[in-house]
């Protein structure tokens, strides 16, 4: 009789131990499931936020580039200046000019950390679906690769070149394409023996003097920068155009540069 009671007691203890183990395992599984579920939800939420941020950047960029042909040329062709490339196929343009413009767009968006795919996406917006070049993963052209972050940052000290001064002499529109004939020019400020500016000279692309402005008149013009630039651009239209830039309207209703050639 004593042995049977002892056996029953052992069975009860074992049963309780098994049940406790089962409950413990079940609780662990529930806990792990909840952790993984919350982790997946967090990752999904963050992914949606990243997509939203990128979509907002794209919208802001497209809105910014929704410009007239004249405004678009001012935006795309003044950052690189004398390094403005000649090309009939956008993929043949100089990488300094291509990625310099992309870097400029991220400066406009005030982006501090940039993903690799974002760089190529912005390039597609700027240059259209015919653009097939991918940004070098090691970075460059003012976009520095941070290996620890696996992202890129803007090098504000990267030199983009001299600013191009130009006036638009002629504009022709044909369906979804616009052709602009451009006059490049140069301005030089000349000083007297006292080191004061006494003359400003307008030169053509071949450094031929076209017109000079006395310091008095020029100072008056400088009181209003926009007025002074418009005056000089009007004077430049007397010169022969030396560049032709062709733009094409894309599906986002913004312009892409098709070609830049010498006339």
- Supply the pLDDT for residue 179: 95
Determine the Cα–Cα distance for residues 59 and 67; give it in Å rounded to an integer.
Answer: 14
Give the global pTM: 0.69
DSSP single-letter state for residue 87: B
pLDDT at 89 over 80: yes
pLDDT tier, 132 (very low <50, low <70, confident <90, very high otherwise):
very high
pLDDT at 157 over 70: no
The model's pLDDT over 158-209, given as tens digits with 9 standing for 90+, comes to 555 555 678 888 899 888 899 999 888 887 877 777 777 777 788 887 888 8
- Supply the pLDDT for residue 9: 62
- Supply the pLDDT for residue 181: 92
Terminal C-alpha separation, the chain: 116
Give SS3 for 258: strand
Contact 246, 258 (CB under 8 A): yes
- Supply the pLDDT for residue 17: 64
Give SS3 for 150: coil
pLDDT at 134 over 80: yes
The model's pLDDT over 9-56, given as tens digits with 9 standing for 90+, comes to 666 666 666 667 676 776 776 665 555 555 454 445 434 444 444 778
């Amino acid at each position: 009789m004593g042995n049977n009671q002892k056996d029953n007691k052992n069975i009860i203890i074992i049963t309780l131990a098994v049940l406790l183990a089962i409950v413990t395992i079940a609780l662990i599984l529930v806990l792990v499931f909840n952790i993984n579920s919350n982790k997946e939800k967090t990752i999904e939420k963050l992914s949606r936020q990243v997509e939203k941020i990128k979509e907002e950047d794209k919208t802001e960029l497209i809105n910014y580039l929704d410009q007239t042909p004249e405004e678009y040329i001012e935006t795309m062709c003044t950052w690189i200046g004398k390094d403005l490339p000649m090309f009939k196929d956008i993929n043949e343009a100089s990488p300094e000019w291509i990625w310099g413009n992309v870097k400029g767009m991220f400066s406009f968006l005030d982006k501090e950390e940039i993903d690799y795919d974002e760089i190529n996406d912005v390039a597609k917006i700027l240059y259209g679906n015919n653009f097939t070049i991918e940004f070098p993963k090691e970075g460059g052209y003012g976009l520095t690769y941070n290996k620890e972050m696996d992202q890129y940052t803007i090098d504000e000290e990267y030199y983009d070149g001299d600013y191009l001064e130009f006036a638009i002499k002629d504009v022709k529109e044909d369906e979804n394409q616009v052709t602009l004939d451009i006059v490049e020019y140069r301005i030089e400020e000349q000083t007297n023996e006292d080191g004061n500016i006494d003359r400003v000279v307008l030169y053509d692309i071949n450094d031929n003097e076209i017109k000079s402005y006395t310091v008095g008149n020029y100072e008056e013009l400088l009181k209003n920068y926009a007025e002074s630039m418009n005056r000089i651009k009007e004077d430049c239209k007397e010169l022969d155009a030396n560049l032709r830039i062709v733009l094409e309207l894309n599906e986002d209703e913004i312009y892409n540069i098709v070609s830049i050639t010498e006339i």
